[in-house]
Amino acid sequence: MDSPYGLLAELTYRCPLACPYCSNPLNMAGYQDELATDEWRRVLAQACDLGVLQCHLSGGEPLLRRDLAEIVADAHDLGLYTNLITSALGLSPPRAEQLRAAGLDHVQISIQADEPTVSDRIAGTPSFQRKIEAMGVVKELGWPLTMNVVLHRHNIDRVAEVIGLAEEMGADRLELANTQYYGWAWRNRDALLPSRAQLKAAETVVRAARERLRDRMDVIYVIPDYYSRYPKPCMGGWASRQLTVTPNGDVLPCPAAQSLPLPRASVREDSLRWIWAESAVMTAFRGTDWMPEPCRSCFRREVDFGGCRCQAFLLTGDAARTDPVCYLSPHHDLVAQAVEAANADSRDNDLPLVPRAHRPGRLSHRTTTAAPQRR
| Residues in the annotated binding site for [4Fe-4S] cluster | 15, 19, 22
Q: Residues annotated as binding site?
A: 15, 19, 22
CA dist 166 and 135 (Å) reads 10
CA distance 324 to 338: 11
Angle subtended by helix axes 196-213 and 159-169, to nearest 10: 30
Q: Are 20 and 185 within 8 A, CB to CB?
A: yes
349 burial (CB, 10 Å; 0-12 / 13-18 / 19+) is exposed
Helix axes 116-123, 128-140, angle to 10 degrees: 100
Q: Beta 145-151 vs 173-178: how paired, if at all?
A: parallel
Determine whether 236 is exposed, middle or buried from the number of CB atoms within 10 Å of its CB (0-12, 13-18, 19+).
Answer: middle
- The C-alpha atoms of residue 272 and residue 279 are separated, in whole angstroms, by 10
